[in-house]
Amino acid sequence: MDQIRKAWRRIERWVGSEWELPPVEEMFNPPADPAEIDAAERALGHSFPAPYRASLLVHDGQVETGFVPPEWLPDGMYLLTLRETVALWREERAFENERFFDEMPEEDTGESDRIRDFSTVTAAGRLPIAQNEGISYMYLDLVPGPAGDSGQVIYTKDECSFSVAGTEFADFLSRYADLLERGVLRYDAETYACVVPADEQDSWEELLLRPSTERGA
């Protein structure tokens, strides 16, 4: 998909302009093999939405170094590899099977028209694609609320509520590239070692709802 490739080129240029970040080839993996994508889909029991599959054919997540990869996504998250997506999805399914969830109140997403409420924050139809481990998570939502879009990108605002970051992955990635290029977001190497809003008054929720002013590749 052209929109995905253009968004990635813009992000790669931004990474190349940030001297505190590693070179693109040391930060992002090469494309995933289509056979590996097919195998991951079989393991998950779900097909990736077309925009995300197109993204995997550009970069299969971030390079695993044994340390936390550069955190360039919202709220200190980094992009998962196919292997990490499947592993985290399986971990979440095992966690949901713990008996104590039987007595827990239902999750309140705060956006139940677009994001469906479940008895747990995780769900089999939410495919994890990014994380700040133990703090923030981003998903492809294949089981949206009645006003949502299948394949929409959602992320955790707090321990038990979500917000929508994009109607699908290409929408999210294009608008995020726009925020990086325009300096609305900046990489803070000294204090947080992650991307943060340039204006401390801006919230992630507000920024991720802004329309794109997409430029050419």
* pLDDT score recorded for residue 65: 82
* pLDDT score recorded for residue 137: 96
* pLDDT score recorded for residue 187: 97
* pLDDT score recorded for residue 19: 94
User: In which band, very low, low, confident or very high, does the pLDDT at 216 lie, cut at 50, 70 and 90?
Assistant: very low
Non-local (6+) Cβ contacts of 135 within 8 A are 75, 76
* pLDDT score recorded for residue 160: 74
- Give the separation between CA 25 and CA 178, rounded to whole angstroms: 21
Q: Is the pLDDT of residue 72 over 50?
A: yes
Q: What is the pLDDT of residues 142-190, one digit of tens each?
A: 999 999 999 999 999 877 789 999 999 999 999 999 999 999 999 999 9
* pLDDT score recorded for residue 125: 96
pLDDT more than 70, % of the chain: 88
Q: What is the mean pLDDT of the chain?
A: 90
Residue 200's Cβ-side half-sphere holds a number of Cα atoms within 13 Å equal to 1
* pLDDT score recorded for residue 212: 56
In this prediction the pTM is 0.90
Dihedral (CA of 183, 189, 194, 200) sign: negative
Q: Is the pLDDT of residue 102 over 80?
A: no
Q: What is the pLDDT of residues 103-155, one digit of tens each?
A: 444 444 456 689 998 877 789 999 999 999 989 999 999 999 999 999 999 99
Q: Is 163 helix (H, G, I), strand (E, B) or coil?
A: strand
Non-local (6+) Cβ contacts of 30 within 8 A are 59, 60
* pLDDT score recorded for residue 100: 45
Name all contacts of 113-116 with Cβ < 8 Å and 24+ positions apart. 113/145, 113/146, 113/147, 113/148, 114/144, 114/145, 114/147, 114/148, 114/149, 114/152, 114/164, 115/141, 115/144, 115/145, 115/148, 115/154, 115/162, 115/164, 116/143, 116/144, 116/145, 116/148
